[in-house]
Amino acid sequence: MADNQNTENSIKNTESKGQGLKLDRKTVLLITGLIFGIMIFVGALTQFVPRGEYLTDESGSIIASVIDPETGERISTYTPVDFKLPFWRTLIAPIEVFTSSDAIMGIAIILFIVLIGGTFLILDKSGVLTYIMAVIVKKYSDKKYKLLPIIILAFMVLSSIVGILEESITVVPICVAISLALGWDSLVGISISLVSIAFGFTAATFNPFNVGIVQSMAGLPMFSGIGYRILVFVGIYAILTAFVVRYAKKIEADPKKSIVYENDLKLREKYINSIDNSITDDPRLGKATRTFVGCIAGVLVCAAISFIVQRIEAVPPFIRDNIDNLPLVGMAVLFTVGGLSAGYIAGIRGKNLLGGFIDGAKTIAPIAPLVVFVMGITYILKQGKIIDTILYHVYNKIDGFGPSAALLFIFLFIVLLSFFIGSGTAKAFLIMPLVLPLADMLSVTRQSVVLAFCLSNGFCNILYPTSGVMIIAIGLVNVSYGKFIKFTWKLFLAEFLFSVLILLGAVAFGYGA
């Protein structure tokens, strides 16, 4: 009876304090304004940059050149076009984008965000988040600097092999709460989740997107050249871990040195001062937490199924082409089911459960316009027909470079292109058909080109304000883009310089020759 009474009291206390994800309106408005400004800038580019387009095949890949039947010479398929996108369409691009092929993905991401908001409020009100914090603090408070590299490694390995990125949005708030509970700040939490996953994406080993798709387009054996990529993974892991551990120790020694100290005050109050170690003896919360963690573990099963099915040639192409969405769908469904089930087990029932979920969804809804504006940027570039013009001039620029200069130019171009186009698959279909034949002529191995693509397509996914995943993730924990960049710029620079050295090494020993 005493245990049941304690359980009821803990549920009431945590339910009254639980607020879920709270967005800072100023931060959201500033980021939304920044993205909107970039969208207007891109719209202006379509008015001044010459328009043109290449021929494409059925898959959407560019056909860079064809043989002229009369002269027998190879000629470019790029042709200028007279069409100019009316500037007023820039303003309605966030609406028009939902009539394009990107509409389904956009709706899915917005729905995903709403589900996250609802689920986190239930986890918070039920006391599950506080329980997780209490268990971690109790178990790892005296060995947290052993835990830190392990978490970074786990997320990097998962992303390097499976290719998760959007799924990182769900773990950012949890990792931030863990970070605060262990005496660090929100930026450490972002580093061990979002940044680790993005850097794992960069250091791709068996990643079906960065490696699988690009190697297949290059005509290379699937996942060949793994030895050098493992070396890249080790190097990037070492850089990231050293950076995060050094920063975490500095913040632990003096929390006021954190640039997000003021932002974290309320969260610190919530996740540090409110932790009662006796909560770990609550059997109901223990069962609720195990249920939630079990559902999250199911996402790994989805990722494994996706990875294996994409490797089996006997599977129909339609299934193989769409199975890559399984981890994201699995995360959305299992995260929500796990959160609601945990809330129910912890004692939140009926209208309180449904009402809490809806309140959490409403809280996170203001982030949706960010997704729409980011989608609008890519839509304007496609409709304005200036991407192919940029590719055409880059293609002509590389011709005549030496192997090292050509490879570094390709790397740098993809880094810059990522500002406008976040999707790695879209970049692959745009760039690879152009640069692969040119790389052959310039004595750059195709394996080196694949490596350049991997190195440029990972960390850039969280570098620019046009990155929907990054903007949403830091917005969930009320960290502004400016503070995020102020914290990470040295890390990005180190990764960039390391990539340059790796690429120069690839040319020096003829990687993949």
* pLDDT attached to residue 240: 97
pLDDT score of 454 = 92
The verdict on residue 375 lying in a domain is yes
Containing structural domain, residue 93: 2-508
Q: How far apart are CA 334 and CA 476, in angstroms?
A: 20
Beta-carbon contacts of residue 333 (< 8 Å; ≥ 6 apart)? none
Residue 53, strand partner residues:
79
CA 337, CA 302: separation in Å to the nearest integer?
Answer: 15
- Give the rounded distance of the alpha carbon of 360 from its chain centre: 22
> Which backbone phi and psi does 472 adopt, to 5 degrees?
-65, -45
Q: Tell me the two tokens of residue 20.
A: 């879920």
- Exposure of 167 in the CB half-sphere (CA atoms within 13 A): 27
What confidence score (pLDDT) does residue 21 get? 61
What is the rounded CA–CA span in Å between residue 238 and residue 156?
A: 11
pLDDT one digit per residue (tens) for the chain, 513 residues? 444 444 444 444 444 455 556 666 777 788 788 888 989 999 999 999 999 988 887 766 778 788 888 888 888 888 998 889 999 999 999 999 888 877 887 788 788 878 888 888 888 888 887 788 788 877 887 889 999 999 999 999 988 987 777 777 888 888 998 898 888 999 999 999 999 999 999 999 988 778 888 888 888 887 889 999 999 999 999 999 999 999 999 999 999 999 999 888 877 776 665 556 677 788 898 899 899 888 888 877 887 787 788 777 777 877 776 777 777 788 788 888 998 999 999 888 888 888 888 888 888 777 788 888 888 888 898 899 888 888 888 878 887 788 999 999 999 988 988 888 877 777 887 788 878 877 887 888 999 999 999 999 878 889 998 888 888 889 888 898 999 999 999 999 999 999 999 999 999 999 986
Residue 396 lies in a domain: yes
> Across-strand partners of 55?
63
Q: Is residue 383 part of a domain?
A: yes
In this structure, the number of other CB atoms found within 10 A of the CB of residue 85 comes to: 19
3-state secondary structure of 416: helix
Whether 464 is in a domain gets the answer yes
Three-state DSSP state, 293: helix
In the three-class reduction of DSSP (H, G, I as helix; E, B as strand; rest coil), residue 58 is classed as coil
Strand partners, 67: 74
State both tokens at 27: 């931060």
**Within-domain flag for 513:** no
DSSP string of 9-35, one letter each residue: HHHHHHHHH-------HHHHHHHHHHH
Structural domain includes residue 121: yes
How many domains would you assign to the chain?
A: 1
Three-state secondary structure call for residue 56: strand
What is the Cα–Cα distance from 73 to 446, expressed in whole angstroms?
Answer: 24
* The token pair that represents 299 in the structure block: 């996402």
**Is residue 186 one of the residues assigned to a domain?**
yes
Q: How far apart are CA 132 and CA 153, in angstroms?
A: 20
The candidate with the shortest Cα–Cα distance to 257, out of 188, 199, 340, is 188
pLDDT at position 266 is 75
3-state secondary structure (DSSP) of residue 420? coil
Q: What is the DSSP letter of 192?
A: I
Q: 3-class SS at 375?
A: helix
The whole-angstrom separation of Cα 363 and Cα 357 is 10
- The torsion defined by the Cα of 228, 231, 232 and 235, in degrees rounded to 10, comes to -160
- Partnered with residue 76 across adjacent β-strands are 65
Instruction: Provide the 10 A C-beta neighbour count for residue 264.
Output: 26
| Alpha carbon distance 331, 322 (integer Å) | 16
pLDDT of residue 276: 62
For 60, phi then psi, to 5°, come to 100, -5
CA separation (Å) from 219 to 109, 391, 442, 450? 32, 22, 17, 11
Phi, psi dihedrals of residue 82, rounded to the nearest 5° = -85, -15
Chain centre to alpha carbon of residue 252: 27
Which phi and psi angles does 71 have, rounded to 5°? Answer: -100, -20
Please indicate, yes or no, if residue 53 is contained in any of the structural domains. Answer: yes
Dihedral sign from CA coordinates of 216, 220, 225, 229: negative
